[in-house]
Amino acid sequence: MIPRNDHFWIGLAVSVFVTVVAYALLLQLGDWLSAGASRSVVFKPRTLALLAISLNVLPMNVFRRTYRTRAMKGLMVGVMALAAVWFYVYGVDLLGG
């Protein structure tokens, strides 16, 4: 029996949604830490973006446990696309070019 909401597009949407929300929350966390500390706390945007992308392991585990294989495929495609965009934007700095 196919679980409810087991669609490729749902996984793709979840991957983008989780990444955008996590990035915004991590930016807010940096601002909150800067306001609470006596000095400025600054995180690099590339680090925050990589953390936001990697937080997709949480919905991936939910999809795996509930046997939503199509949604998990969409989630993985979204994560790979976001990782490719991250590497395109920040890869030049990492490779020293």
Structural domain includes residue 15: yes
Structural domain that includes position 65: 8-94
The angle that helices 8-36 and 69-94 make with each other, rounded to 10 degrees, is 50
- Rounded CA-CA distance 12/66 in Å is 17
- Domain count across the chain: 1
Structural domain includes residue 1: no
Structural domain includes residue 2: no
- Rounded CA-CA distance 92/86 in Å is 10
Position 64 scores a pLDDT of: 94
Can you give the pLDDT of all 97 residues of the chain as single tens digits? 667 889 999 999 999 999 999 999 999 998 898 888 877 878 899 999 999 999 999 999 999 999 999 999 999 999 999 999 999 999 888 887 6
pTM of the full structure: 0.89
Structural domain includes residue 3: no
Amino acid sitting at position 31: D
Structural domain includes residue 49: yes
Position 97 scores a pLDDT of: 63
